[in-house]
A = this chain, B = another copy of it.
Amino acid sequence: MRIGELAERAGTTTRTLRYYESRGLLTARRTEQGHRTYDENDLRLLQQIRTLQDFGFELEETRPFVDCLRAGHPAGDACPASIAVYRRKVAELDGLIEQLRAVRAEVGAQLLRAEAELPLGPEPRCELGTEWDTETAETTEGRRG
């Protein structure tokens, strides 16, 4: 299949596929006219990349998985190098989550303190259009969208 069909079947764009090729992932064969040609195996590679990207993996981090599939393994994570990436990612996520939880606690505490010190009073149960609610509605883009 050609690049447009592969992109559509994988739910991505041709630009993305050319970018992956420029990075050395997902290289393509060529027709006589110079058009890129892909097969079902390339689709599997691409799906592997996309799945990991959705998880927040950087492109470079997907490389071991692609290499693993290219080497003939049934799954991209059937190789030690891929598992090493998994491990690093889990550790990274754990660290990040803990960091964000600390920030969330700090900001939450500041919010409570600042609300309590507001001279006008926070009135948390009141759902009328108070001053800060109005301001929120002006600066927030579709929090309900």
A: which residues have CB within 8 A of B?
Answer: 55-56, 75, 77-78, 80-84, 86-91, 93-94, 96-97, 100-101, 103-104, 106-108, 110-111, 114-115, 117-118, 120, 122, 130-132, 135-136, 139-140, 143
A116 to chain B, nearest CB (A): 11
Copies in the complex: 2
A100 is contacted by which of B86, B100, B117 (Cβ under 8 Å)?
Answer: B100
Are B110 and A77 touching (Cβ within 8 A)? yes
Are A118 and B86 touching (Cβ within 8 A)? no
A82 to chain B, nearest CB (A): 7
Are A106 and B140 touching (Cβ within 8 A)? no
Are A84 and B118 touching (Cβ within 8 A)? no
A126 to chain B, nearest CB (A): 13
